Structure 1
Amino acid sequence: MAQEQKDFRAETGEEPYWTDAAFGGMPTYQLGAHYPHNYIKKLDSVLRFLPRPADYLFLYFIGFYILLLCMKVDYKLAFLGSIAFGFSTYLIIILGIGHNSKAHAIAYMPMVLAGIIAIFRHRNIWSFLLLTVAIALEIQANHFQMTYYLLLLVIILGIAYLVDAYQKQLIPQYFKSIGVMVVAVVLAIAANATNLLATSEYTQFSTRGESELSIQPNGGPKKKSGLGFEYITSYSYGIVESFNLMVPRFMGGGSSEDIGKDSNIYKSLREIGASPSQAAGFAENAPTYWGNQPYVGAPAYIGATVIFLFVFALFLIRGRLKWWIVGGSILALLLSWGKNFEFLTKFFIEFVPLYDKFRAITSIQVILELCLPLLAIMGLYRLFLNEVKKDEKLYALKWSSIITGGLLLIFLLFKSVLFDFAGANDAMYSKQFGMDFMNALEEDRKSIFNNDVIRSLIFVLIAAGLIWAFLKAKVNRNMLIGGLAILILVDLIGVDKRYVDEDDFVQAREMEQPFQKMAADDAILEDQTHYKVFDVSGDPFNTGRTSYYHNALGGYHAAKPGRIQDLFDFYISKNNMKILSMLNVKYFIVPTEEGNQAQQNPDAFGNSWLVNDVTWVESQDQEILSLEDADLKSTAIINFKFKDEVQNDFNFDSEANIELINYKPNELKYEFSADSNQFAVFSENYYQPGWKAYIDGKPTPHVQVNYVLRGMNIPAGEHEVVFKFEPEVVTTGSTISLISSILIGLVVVGGIGYELKKRK
């Protein structure tokens, strides 16, 4: 969906900040807009010097490495922790499916924690700079859901340090550290002011903001702000499914797994008449997953070795470090259960600010991906300390082995008693293929379960054996670290490659042009006028493909323009051609037996038209409902709140004319000619904070009409009507960012000067 702005930027050197390529028109604030004085983004580009996705993998490693160094861990253990964090299956999977901004934000999480801990320890200028830059980079990554989850963890960390400070009578020092952090946060936010202000502004117009509608298409009441409970929790991790963290395919793995021709379902399908190729094709995408989530790309596997080391650390570590890591991990796990732990989830949705703005809550498990390897490495750090008694270390080894190994043995021996291996869609498969197939599928699920439980048990026993050998002086410290590094790499990469392998990497030219033109695209692109395209060959609001070549009515985004989503729910999803014509949908991409074809809509209203009447309504509910019966080609529906900005002294003139003569994403020029005053409607999305209207260069008010479009009075005569996208938020934010960057620069210079003076 960013392709139009990229092309415009390359051709003109100008940033548009608006695109018509998605949802009929939206700001590019969430589509990779470039802002003036965004020096944090330039720093991020320097850090991401490797090709994608290796750049994100490097950020995983370096961020966690810095965190462990700030916790006084030596570089060898820091390296071990980095690979344990960076190769965690979930972090690799999101790279494989292109969740780049999520990976980006996760990668900077450890660095933010490093800055906080460094300030609690030292409160010097370098700790301050580390935290300032880390928070600025985290915000710049532009995935606020991940940053929000990090904030929850930071709050728990702060509480743990507060309790510790109280017990040690160090409350004044604690609040001095908090004061330093507040300054760092303010500077970091200011450095990202443009992005934050723009996002805040757009949020009010998106599906994440407060809706002015009080009704749903079915007439029921509509939630006024945030997302609904069912939508937020549509992806909820199962309570039992959480053992995926330790056993990769505990519940069958992803929604579809390749289990090969040796599987029971392959044999079953052959027995009921399927051809070898049909049976093999099904076995390559077998429904092995037996959890309750709608879709699972892969399990969020942290690693049996890492889990064992985490449990081992629980017996060796005490105090604030243990409790903030364990507290954050437990909270993340409980919240990831969503509707399976309804009480806590509803409490957060109702009472915790902003929590209801995010969906796919299973992704809060990134906190587990961070916390578990962190405590695991700190446990090894304690293992190597002479001050910790050997008996205490042996005790920790014994019980961590019993807990993790024993749990895996219970799963292995009593699986048929504990689990039914039945999936949410099994009734459909039973009806389609019969009970013999279902029995075969259950046996395959058990086999997958067995194999991975045994696999995890082996890794646990080897890890325990390595620590035992160290405690018995049979291997030294370096040999133990090296052995664990190999074990963790084999464990994690072995699972990672099940879901991201060589087949997921393509030639660079395919990334540069990811969508190949179809005959339908070529046919539509022959028309050089300005119009919109609606792709009905699939889910139009779940794909960005059409946007790559055309100005699309559809698209894919987590924060769609709210009013377009409302129109979709009320009318577009029901194929209401009048609404589609009003939105200037001139072409449809439709599926046929010969492939997708272009189909022209002869009734499209065009880029603008003149009306002879205005229907006034008192609410947004009335406005959207009035679209059903109104003659939208001759009538404009306008809310009374715009009464003072609309003049009624217009008379429709059939000889009058208005025509779009020049189109840019951020500027539209029209020629107008009429013998009397007119009221014009424009088939462009209304967005008041940035779009300005001019008649012959003079600023002129325009209003929202027909729920989503723009309308304005135009006086008699010949005029040039121009719409320009001139977002004040960019100017304001850029000024704040510049000031913040200068202040950060002065702190750096001052710090260097201070260090030189101190050394001298």
Structure 2
Amino acid sequence: MTLYTSVLDYQRYSIRGGSGEGGGLEFDYAANWSFHPLEMVTFFIPSFMGFGGATYWGKMPFTDYPLYFSVIVFLLAGLAILLRRDRTTWIMTIVALFSLLVSFGKHLPLLYGPLFKLLPYFNKFRVPSMIHIILDIAMLILAGIGLQALFELRTQLPQLKPMERSRKMKGVKRYLYAFTGIVLLLVLIVLLGKSIYMGMAGSGGHTLNEAQRLEAYNKALLDSFKSIGLLALAIVLIFQFLKNNLTRLTLTLSLSAMVIFDLIMVDAKIIHPRDKSDEKAFFAATPAVQYLKQEKELYRIFPVLDDKSGNWYMYHLIPNISGYSAAKVRLYQDFLDETGFGSQDRYGLNSFMSKYWRVGMRDNRVTPVEVPLDQIAPERRAFDSAMLDMLNVKYLVLQYLPLNDPRYQPVADPEQIPLYRNTTVLPRAFFADSTRQFTGRKNIFDFMKSGRFDPRRVAIIEENPPFAVAPAGANTAEITRHDLHQIDIAAQVKSPTILVLSEIYYPAGWKAYVDGKETRIFKTNYLLRGLFLRPGDHQIVFKFDPASYRAGKWISTLTLLLLLGLLGYALWLLYQRRRKQPPVTA
């Protein structure tokens, strides 16, 4: 329960829930990876759409694997609907059908649109196809019911009148033959329609070359033979069972083994166990990483031009203002959107680097051209510099192109260590000389982009300050402890001031204590934390202690105690019942 209460708390401040317009994701963003109805063909032949990766040619932006749960599971689930139409079967059928329809997402806006707009919390989730986990569970339950229905049918057949027995068997045969016919039709399309398949694979939204289309076709062909072979064997086993030539155990074990084999054949294309040495080779420390690990002060990096993936530096515990998260803090996403630090143009340049370099065509080749500093808008340079300074970005990672700006100096030969030191970086905790009050994202960033914002000179707050501040002067602040849940600062304050901590403002749990007394944290510079301090020597503690976590912990503890109590009570009742039973006499 602690997980759920914490996530529920967090979503209010994330891109899934936090925004000035009511919260939730935008429809187009949330509806990415909607499951197209045509891709239901992969329920029968998993590689029909190219399986995943470079060979995928379906309707989703990309995928690594099909949403496949075994053709035999599908077959048995249908038998449940045919032979055992009780409450459980209908409930699971409705759950499976509803999950499938919801997974269509933007391809079925009549259903997904109202759910997205009206159903509470629905717009906090993205990737409609993820609901297939519910579809898979429902289909597995239906498959179990279908197998049980076969057991019951064989028991009932001898007791039925000939006409009733014939009618039952005809229904089963028609279903099995119809199911086989659908799969066989798909197999024939792949087997006999190679040119048609290759054309379909090349006409979608994905650009597949000839070799990739051929690989997709070969995968589909192999899966076609596998599916029709497994299906034929399963049907033979079912008929033999109904003729009393197989036991229940034999049928159950045989079908289970076939399902396991079927899924292993799919999983083997997804899961590639590797030796530990491969991990070490991928994350091998570069000269830049080796240099950064020698840094003693708190710092962050900004990979401006880098061939490492977004979260690669996490492996080395190097703080990074880039990286990927599926549920970013709303304030930080706003920051990335305003600065452009989190996006790239088609040449791989983000907003920071594109002001120093322009990309043009020369001799029919893409050629970067350096922009002289005097041709760069001073406001833009000042804004980018202020953002990096206040985020404690001490180093920039730049490969491929040099950075000729006196604010950023190479730590060594850039060919050897592609690191540039930010010469104007601010420490993780710093003081500002004054405050300015603005409200709203637009007003705040308009001021920041005006060229007049210097985080040393002014701290932007969104509410009335408790008192006026004076220039920082000789004020000092030293971070004595810094971990995930607590930050301790020793501060010497000569005049009333505001202390800015370069950590994300997150009111759902972070509390500040000055000399043991809880103190209000002000949202500062749109995304950071600020404390107003009066003159004196202060011990400051920022502590993460969310009420949602404590509530979840208590709920979990009480629930566990309740369950243990119920278990004890049930055992006591069982004991009392056995005591009252008369002894068995010979």
Q: With the length of structure 1 as denominator, give the TM-score of the two structures.
A: 0.62
Q: Which moved more, 1:361-370 or 1:465-474?
A: 465-474
Deviations 1:520-549 (A, max 9, x none): 222112111112223345599942643641
Change (3 A) 1:731 1:632: same
Tell me the residue number matched to 1:506.
275
Q: Which moved more, 1:602-611 or 1:746-755?
A: 602-611
Tell me the residue number matched to 1:610.
431
SS of equivalent to 1:554 = coil
Deviations 1:327-360 (A, max 9, x none): 1111111111212222211121012221111111
Tell me the residue number matched to 2:241.
470
Q: CA deviation at 1:705?
A: 0.8
Tell me the residue number matched to 2:169.
394
Q: CA deviation at 1:601?
A: 1.6
| Aligned 8 A contact 1:312 1:396 in 2 | no
SS of equivalent to 2:156 = coil
Tell me the residue number matched to 2:135.
368
| Aligned 8 A contact 1:691 1:725 in 2 | yes
Q: CA deviation at 1:635?
A: 0.9
Higher relative contact order (CA 8 A, sep 6+): 1
Q: Does 2:476 match 1:709? A: no
Tell me the residue number matched to 1:231.
29
Instruction: Give distance in 1, aligned partners of 2:567 and 2:545.
Output: 34
Deviations 1:257-280 (A, max 9, x none): xxxxxxxxxxxxxxxxxxxxxxxx
Tell me the residue number matched to 1:546.
314
| Aligned 8 A contact 2:57 2:206 in 1 | no
Change (3 A) 1:590 1:328: same
Tell me the residue number matched to 1:749.
568
Residue type of the partner of 1:506?
A: D
Instruction: Give distance in 1, aligned partners of 2:473 and 2:426.
Output: 15
Larger radius of gyration: 2
Tell me the residue number matched to 1:724.
543
Q: CA deviation at 1:443?
A: 5.1
Change (3 A) 1:662 1:424: farther
Tell me the residue number matched to 1:647.
467
SS of equivalent to 2:488 = strand
Residue type of the partner of 1:253?
A: F
| Aligned 8 A contact 1:624 1:706 in 2 | no
Q: How does 1:32-43 map to 2 (within 5 A)?
A: none
Tell me the residue number matched to 2:289.
521
Instruction: Give distance in 2, aligned partners of 1:746 and 1:478.
Output: 38
Residue type of the partner of 1:328?
A: V
Normalized per residue, the structure richer in helix is 1
Change (3 A) 1:546 1:470: closer
Deviations 1:188-214 (A, max 9, x none): xxxx2x3333222222111222312xx
Q: Which moved more, 1:545-554 or 1:561-570?
A: 545-554
Gaps of 5+ in 1: 1-191, 213-222, 257-287, 430-436
Q: CA deviation at 1:294?
A: 1.4
Tell me the residue number matched to 1:282.
none
Deviations 1:241-267 (A, max 9, x none): 1111111111111123xxxxxxxxxxx
| Aligned 8 A contact 2:514 2:541 in 1 | yes
| Aligned 8 A contact 1:312 1:379 in 2 | yes
Q: How does 1:150-299 map to 2 (within 5 A)?
A: 192=1, 194-212=2-20, 224-256=22-54, 288-299=55-66
The one of 449, 455, 458 equivalent to 1:632 is: 455
Residue type of the partner of 1:397?
A: V
Q: Does 2:443 match 1:622? A: yes
Deviations 1:334-392 (A, max 9, x none): 11121222221112101222111111111111122112232222122122222355435
Instruction: Give distance in 1, aligned partners of 2:215 and 2:475.
Output: 72
Instruction: Give distance in 2, aligned partners of 1:428 and 1:203.
Output: 36
Q: Does 2:513 match 1:694? A: yes
Tell me the residue number matched to 1:681.
500
SS of equivalent to 1:671 = strand
Residue type of the partner of 1:597?
A: P
Change (3 A) 1:719 1:423: same
Q: Does 2:498 match 1:669? A: no
SS of equivalent to 1:636 = strand
SS of equivalent to 1:504 = coil
Deviations 1:54-112 (A, max 9, x none): xxxxxxxxxxxxxxxxxxxxxxxxxxxxxxxxxxxxxxxxxxxxxxxxxxxxxxxxxxx
The one of 98, 105, 126 equivalent to 1:331 is: 98
Tell me the residue number matched to 1:597.
418
Deviations 1:16-43 (A, max 9, x none): xxxxxxxxxxxxxxxxxxxxxxxxxxxx
Deviations 1:650-680 (A, max 9, x none): 2214333333344333333333334422222
| Aligned 8 A contact 1:543 1:556 in 2 | yes
Change (3 A) 1:230 1:426: closer
Q: CA deviation at 1:609?
A: 2.6
Instruction: Give distance in 1, aligned partners of 2:205 and 2:532.
Output: 60
Q: How does 1:347-366 map to 2 (within 5 A)?
A: 347-366=114-133
Deviations 1:556-578 (A, max 9, x none): 33222111111011113332332
Q: CA deviation at 1:584?
A: 0.7
Change (3 A) 1:540 1:714: farther
| Aligned 8 A contact 2:15 2:328 in 1 | yes
Q: How does 1:29-178 map to 2 (within 5 A)?
A: none
Q: CA deviation at 1:470?
A: 2.0
| Aligned 8 A contact 1:534 1:553 in 2 | yes
Change (3 A) 1:740 1:518: same
| Aligned 8 A contact 2:11 2:124 in 1 | no
Instruction: Give distance in 2, aligned partners of 1:729 and 1:227.
Output: 23
Change (3 A) 1:306 1:396: farther
Q: CA deviation at 1:704?
A: 0.9
Q: Does 2:182 match 1:403? A: no
Q: CA deviation at 1:633?
A: 2.2
Instruction: Give distance in 2, aligned partners of 1:329 and 1:585.
Output: 49
Tell me the residue number matched to 1:87.
none
Q: Does 2:328 match 1:560? A: yes
Instruction: Give distance in 1, aligned partners of 2:304 and 2:311.
Output: 11
SS of equivalent to 2:120 = coil
| Aligned 8 A contact 1:613 1:635 in 2 | yes
| Aligned 8 A contact 1:233 1:360 in 2 | yes
Q: How does 1:9-20 map to 2 (within 5 A)?
A: none
Instruction: Give distance in 2, aligned partners of 1:368 and 1:492.
Output: 16
SS of equivalent to 2:489 = strand
Aligned CA RMSD, in angstroms, stands at 2.9
Tell me the residue number matched to 1:178.
none
Residue type of the partner of 1:452?
A: D
Tell me the residue number matched to 1:422.
201
| Aligned 8 A contact 1:249 1:449 in 2 | yes
| Aligned 8 A contact 2:58 2:204 in 1 | no
SS of equivalent to 1:659 = strand
Residue type of the partner of 1:387?
A: Q
SS of equivalent to 2:336 = helix
Instruction: Give distance in 1, aligned partners of 2:65 and 2:281.
Output: 27
Instruction: Give distance in 2, aligned partners of 1:482 and 1:461.
Output: 17
Instruction: Give distance in 1, aligned partners of 2:545 and 2:205.
Output: 54
Residue type of the partner of 1:394?
A: M
Q: With the length of structure 2 as denominator, give the TM-score of the two structures.
A: 0.80
| Aligned 8 A contact 1:676 1:716 in 2 | yes
Q: What is the number of equivalent residue pairs in this alignment?
A: 512
Instruction: Give distance in 2, aligned partners of 1:595 and 1:310.
Output: 61
The one of 462, 468, 477 equivalent to 1:658 is: 477
Residue type of the partner of 2:302?
A: F
Instruction: Give distance in 1, aligned partners of 2:203 and 2:329.
Output: 33
